[in-house]
Structure 1
Amino acid sequence: MNSTAIQLTRWKKDSEPSTEADRVAVEEPLEIRVNGRSVAVTMRTPGHDRELAAGFLFTEGVLKRADELLDLLVCKTQPEAASGNVVDAQVAASVGVDFERLTRHVFSASSCGLCGKATIDALFQNFPPVTSAARFSAEDIAALPEKLRAAQPGFGATGGVHASALFSADGTLRVLREDVGRHNALDKVIGQALLAGELPLSETILLVSGRVSFELVQKALAAGIPLIAGIGAPSSLAVECAQRGGQTLVGFLRVDKMNVYTGAERLGLTVAELTT
């Protein structure tokens, strides 16, 4: 885990302040380039940068298949303070990269000005709904948070990173990535699958350590993931996107309960059994 040691002053009620050592997650910028041209800068926890770049370009619709990606170069010719903080994706000449659309979308994603419906309409122009026939057990899903927590060394050391984990249908952990950015953690997971030739992930479960945003559902849709679960709450746009995308969306996942917002049939649940 990429963390760094710091000194802090700890305050506790009815105790004297104390100076103690602690660890915090490292956060540094990563510039992503395509054929030498910059398309995005994201703040991330260093590590698995090639996966992050690959996953980002796939979920943004730049790449459709693994064979369109010729190489991922980690640039070492940057100023000393930025060494290794650039990944240049070399893509095939047949890939038509709309640089203007890509950079415009990336740098305005948090305040794009589009309404929810327009955002979802644009998404489904690039990615079809999930048609996976996979079925899952509610009991197996409920057991996943403990598996996630046990496999989070970064969170254990710092308490300051998000996690995305991919599980097989029977609850076996396939891959887990951590990052200060929740979207980056998922891009790393999807990038790993892309580079391994495992897409689409049509019989898998995605578990994220916090809330479920629209962007996370969108990335899962791009990868063909049929079931998304979060420890926290989903947003309204995430629910709408999952519903339209044919995905099962679970929130507030605990060992003994969960809320199933869409696609309850994949868990063999009827409406009467849903948490209200």
Structure 2
Amino acid sequence: MPAPVFLPPTSYEYTRVQRVVGEARTPADDVLAAEEPLEIRLGYGPSGQREHRTLAVTMRTPGHDEELAAGFLLTEGLIRRREELLGVRPCPDVQKPEEQGNVVRAELAADLPLDLPRLERHFYTSSSCGVCGKTSIEAVHAAACPLLPADGPLILAPVIHQLPERQREAQAVFEQTGGLHAAALFSPQGELLLLREDVGRHNALDKLIGAALLAGQLPLHRHVLLVSGRASFELVQKAAVAGIAVLAAVGAPSSLAVQAAQDFGMTLLGFVRQQRYNIYSHPWRIISEEPEVRSEVSEFRS
């Protein structure tokens, strides 16, 4: 995997604030995480008959936009392999000043079938819109979300404790703004391999997965993913599409996230902070240094 790459200066902005400490109020400078809309457009169809259309608009932190678009296409099921994506580039023919730098076009392979009615329905409804869990999980399986390998990686339990601090040390923009989520990819030994930040949790993960896709590194069967905040169903689904078998979250998982992780064969960890965490599914991948304990946890394999 490539070395961690951080966000450009356009990912944050400065502002003046009134800082209050006790009864004292003084003017000061503050740093904000930048947030702007990104329009993702598609180019598709046979050579000589290419068509273009807008796929989605997402609020994001500027930076790594091509990776965000590539990861979004993969995790939403529009593509399944690197070869189905010819490329992603900024659109030069935007009409409005506010669109400058905020529109990208993804060119799909000429022979790739595109389910236009599915696009019209805007994929499947997220849990935030009140859809029942069973319908969402069936929709993900219908999009060919793969079952994960029934083997490693095996992670020593103390390694998990080290991940949040290593992630925070690498979050340069978060240290300045305090307003960004992160998705970080680690080796089974706890080495930080790749990190992406964004004001949106899903965008940060799509950027990370998109970087791996464009680098030809998928599937990520031998890696560990740590996300800031809670673990939602959609984050579990995106990680499963990328082949990630171990997902750790600083916050709590939702009930649907746990159900999905169990179904996909994913090890899901929550509350990974302050030298503690909970294992919600497939605990056999987290092993102890003591051989006798390691043989015991193997009984939990399903």
The verdict on a shared fold, with TM-score over 0.5 as the criterion, is yes
How many angstroms does 1:229 deviate by? 0.2
1:109 aligns with 2:103: no
Between the two proteins, the alignment pairs up a number of residues equal to 271
1:22 aligns with 2:38: no
1:89 match: 106
How many angstroms does 1:39 deviate by? 0.9
Task: Give the whole-Å Cα distance in 2 for the aligned partners of 1:195 and 1:105.
Answer: 24
Deviates more, 1:226-235 or 1:112-121: 112-121
User: TM-score if structure 1 supplies the norm length?
Assistant: 0.93
1:48 aligns with 2:64: yes
Structure 1: 5+ residue stretches without partners: none
What secondary structure is seen at the aligned counterpart in 2 of 1:258? strand
How many angstroms does 1:95 deviate by? 1.3
1:170 aligns with 2:193: no
- Match 2:148 to one of 119, 130, 138: 130
Task: Give the whole-Å Cα distance in 1 for the aligned partners of 2:131 and 2:13.
Answer: 39
- Match 1:9 to one of 10, 18, 26: 18
2:254 match: 235
Q: In the alignment, is the contact (CA less than 8 A) between 2:127 and 2:133 conserved in 1?
A: no
How many angstroms does 1:107 deviate by? 8.7
Task: Give the whole-Å Cα distance in 2 for the aligned partners of 1:205 and 1:193.
Answer: 13
1:179 match: 198
AA in 2 matched with 1:45 = T
Q: In the alignment, is the contact (CA less than 8 A) between 2:38 and 2:59 conserved in 1?
A: yes
1:194 aligns with 2:210: no
- Match 1:210 to one of 218, 229, 239: 229
| Distance verdict in 2 for CA 1:113–1:252, change over 3 Å | closer
What secondary structure is seen at the aligned counterpart in 1 of 2:87? strand
Task: Give the whole-Å Cα distance in 2 for the aligned partners of 1:253 and 1:145.
Answer: 7
2:48 match: none
Q: In the alignment, is the contact (CA less than 8 A) between 2:125 and 2:131 conserved in 1?
A: no
- Give per-residue Cα distances to partners, 1:125-151, cap 9 Å, x unaligned: 211211151111111111101100000
Q: In the alignment, is the contact (CA less than 8 A) between 1:136 and 1:266 conserved in 2?
A: yes
1:63 match: 79
Task: Give the whole-Å Cα distance in 1 for the aligned partners of 2:191 and 2:117.
Answer: 41
1:248 aligns with 2:264: no
Structure 2: 5+ residue stretches without partners: 1-6, 44-51, 288-293
- Give per-residue Cα distances to partners, 1:172-213, cap 9 Å, x unaligned: 111100000000000000000100111110010000011111
What secondary structure is seen at the aligned counterpart in 2 of 1:252? strand
Q: In the alignment, is the contact (CA less than 8 A) between 1:227 and 1:248 conserved in 2?
A: yes
Q: Provide the alpha-carbon RMSD of the alignment.
A: 1.7
User: TM-score if structure 2 supplies the norm length?
Assistant: 0.86
1:143 match: 162
Q: In the alignment, is the contact (CA less than 8 A) between 2:126 and 2:136 conserved in 1?
A: no
- Give per-residue Cα distances to partners, 1:1-23, cap 9 Å, x unaligned: 4101000112222x321111001
The within-5 A match list for 1:152-163 is 152-163=171-182
Task: Give the whole-Å Cα distance in 1 for the aligned partners of 2:124 and 2:97.
Answer: 26
- Give per-residue Cα distances to partners, 1:247-271, cap 9 Å, x unaligned: 0000001252110111111113657
- Give per-residue Cα distances to partners, 1:42-86, cap 9 Å, x unaligned: 000000000000000000111111011112120133222220111
Q: In the alignment, is the contact (CA less than 8 A) between 1:39 and 1:103 conserved in 2?
A: no
Deviates more, 1:242-251 or 1:79-88: 79-88
How many angstroms does 1:100 deviate by? 2.9
